[in-house]
């Protein structure tokens, strides 16, 4: 499975026409203790780069952007009762949504793991 990354620290795991989206370990560490996640409703469509979800730490609210355009298939209900999952397993159990991609070619513009690693080192 391909995993791609954005400069806003979202990850995208691709399986056919479906993309699972979350925030990276780096982002989760920067945010600190996540206390609330506002997820989009099923069926909502977002364009690449649009605000898709909000993640709240003790101190502040941060937007999460759609890394690719698509329609929300599923939102991770676990995060409603256990938002700390985002800190515990950001790139696994702490996923945010799955998207039915409307333009998979958008993935080409995102970073692979090595490129993202270098990007973070430069911050």
Partner 1 sequence: MAEQDTHLLETPLHALHEQLGAKMVGFAGYSMPIQFEGVKAEHLWTREHCGLFDVSHMGPCFLTITGGPRDDAQAHIEVAKLIEQLVPSDIQGLKPGQARLTVLLNEDGGILDDLIITRPRQPHQQGMLYIVVNGAMKHQDWELIRKSVGPHAELTRADDHILVALQGPDAEAVVTGHFPQAAELGFMECIRLEKGDLSCLVSRCGYTGEDGFELLIPSDGVAFVTELLADERVKPIGLGARDSLRLEAGLCLYGHDLDPEKTPVEASLTWVIQKNRREAADFPGATKILDQIANGPRIKRVGIQPLDRAPAREGTPIMYDDVQVGEITSGGFGPSVDAPVAMGYVEVGHAKIGTELTLMVRGKPRAAKVAKLPFVPHNYKR
Residues in touch with partner 1 (CB under 8 A): 32-33, 35-36, 38, 54, 56-61, 80, 83
* Least distance (Å) between residue 60 CB and partner 1: 8
* Least distance (Å) between residue 110 CB and partner 1: 26
Among the listed residues 79, 77, 90, the one whose alpha carbon sits nearest the alpha carbon of residue 30: 90
Rounded distance, CA 36 to CA 47, Å? 23
Residue 78, phi-psi category: left (phi > 0), alpha (psi -120 to 50), beta (remainder): alpha
* Least distance (Å) between residue 1 CB and partner 1: 32
Q: What is the DSSP letter of 122?
A: T
Residue placing its CB nearer to partner 1 in the complex, 57 or 69: 57
Residue placing its CB nearer to partner 1 in the complex, 1 or 58: 58
């Amino acid at each position: 499975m391909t995993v791609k990354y954005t400069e806003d620290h979202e990850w995208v795991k691709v399986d056919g026409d479906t993309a699972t989206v979350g925030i990276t370990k780096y982002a989760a560490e920067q945010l600190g203790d996540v206390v609330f996640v506002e997820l989009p409703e099923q069926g909502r469509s977002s364009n690449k780069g649009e605000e898709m979800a909000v993640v709240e730490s003790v101190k502040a609210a941060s937007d999460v952007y759609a890394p690719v355009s698509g329609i929300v298939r599923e939102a991770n209900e676990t995060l409603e009762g256990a938002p700390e999952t985002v800190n515990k397993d950001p790139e696994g159990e702490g996923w945010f949504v799955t998207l039915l991609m409307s333009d998979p070619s958008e993935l080409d513009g995102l970073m692979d793991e090595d490129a993202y690693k270098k990007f973070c080192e430069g911050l």
